């Protein structure tokens, strides 16, 4: 028995155009899942890579800065099939001193990182309950779900909230066969960390603290998302798994 077999499952992954989201979508596709990729722009590279694996691919171009239309998105997707797995990966970060962060930067990040996760999860969970699906929801948290960080007030607040929302959802949905867990990536080689990687001093100080001695790659999350998305992980819920090269243990 292949414990990670997702054949016949349909997975919705947000922020799937590049980086972690694309990596998560490909990991699920390699395990047999068909992919619905949601992003603010078209995703031809993700589409080509998923189809090359022989899996189905659907694209939803939607800007999560405005979560108000997500109920209609879910209604359209579920009219065409079930959603068995939801990966709330999409996220942005804005850097500014606490006293300089604008209200718009606060609101934009909260909408993308938190409110869209809530609204999309709510719609998908209603569908799962209606269809009796033993669903799997995986939220992407952060090291800043545990720590404060600097110059990223809206991001830190949103990721602390994602951790709390994960636990709340797990508590309410476990008895109904739906698990909700989160992955907290460490310092990954993605667009969100480009400013840090381009700053020699910050990059050096970060790498010196990571026991593994390197930035993470999207593929480092593969086994975590497959574990949480697997039919065999039904007794695991409400967990936040750090994949951080040992950062939090330091």
Q: What would the two tokens of residue 31 be? A: 């395990």
Residue 79 has pLDDT above 70, yes or no: yes
Q: Which CATH architecture does the domain made up of 10-239 adopt?
A: 3-Layer(aba) Sandwich (3.40)
Catalytic residue among 62, 155, 187, 235: 155
61 vs 194, higher pLDDT: 61
User: Mean pLDDT over residues 118-146, rounded?
Assistant: 98
The Cα 234–Cα 229 span in angstroms is 9
Neighbour tally for 82: CB within 10 Å: 15
* CA 244 to chain centroid: 15
The least confident of 12-16, 18-22, 136-140, 189-193 is: 189-193
The Cα 244–Cα 214 span in angstroms is 10
* Cα angle 8, 13, 16; round to 5: 125
User: Mean pLDDT over residues 39-57, rounded?
Assistant: 97
User: Mean pLDDT over residues 225-239, rounded?
Assistant: 97
62 vs 1, higher pLDDT: 62
Residue 1 has pLDDT above 70, yes or no: no
Percent pLDDT > 90 in the chain is 93
Q: Is 155 a catalytic residue?
A: yes
User: Mean pLDDT over residues 96-101, rounded?
Assistant: 97
pLDDT in tens, 144-168: 999 999 999 999 999 999 999 999 9
Residue 195's pLDDT is what? 81
The Cα 194–Cα 199 span in angstroms is 9
pTM of the predicted protein model: 0.95
Residue 192's pLDDT is what? 75
Residue 22 has pLDDT above 80, yes or no: yes
pLDDT in tens, 178-224: 999 999 999 998 877 888 888 888 889 999 999 999 999 999 999 99
């Amino acid at each position: 028995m292949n414990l990670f077999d997702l054949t016949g499952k349909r997975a919705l992954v947000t922020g799937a155009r590049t980086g972690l989201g694309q990596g998560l979508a490909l990991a699920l596709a390699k395990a047999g899942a068909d992919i619905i990729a949601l992003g603010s722009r078209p995703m031809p590279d993700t589409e080509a890579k998923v189809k090359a694996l022989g899996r189905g691919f659907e694209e939803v171009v939607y800007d999560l800065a405005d979560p108000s239309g997500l109920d209609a998105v879910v209604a359209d997707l579920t009219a065409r099939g079930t959603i068995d797995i939801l990966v709330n990966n999409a996220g942005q970060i804005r850097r500014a001193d606490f006293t300089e962060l604008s209200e718009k930067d606060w609101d934009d990040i909260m909408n993308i990182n938190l409110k869209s996760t809530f609204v999309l999860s709510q719609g998908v969970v209603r569908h799962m309950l209606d269809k009796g699906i033993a669903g799997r929801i995986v939220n992407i948290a952060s090291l800043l779900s545990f720590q404060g960080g600097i110059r990223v007030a809206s991001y830190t607040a949103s990721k602390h909230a994602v951790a709390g929302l994960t636990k709340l959802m797990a508590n309410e949905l476990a008895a109904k066969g739906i698990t909700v867990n989160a992955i907290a990536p460490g310092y990954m080689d993605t667009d969100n960390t480009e400013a840090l990687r381009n700053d020699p001093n910050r990059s050096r100080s970060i790498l010196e603290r990571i026991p593994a001695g390197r930035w993470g790659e999207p593929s480092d999350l593969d086994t975590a998302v497959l574990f949480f998305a697997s039919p065999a992980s039904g007794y695991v819920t409400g967990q936040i798994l750090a994949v951080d090269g040992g950062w939090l243990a330091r």
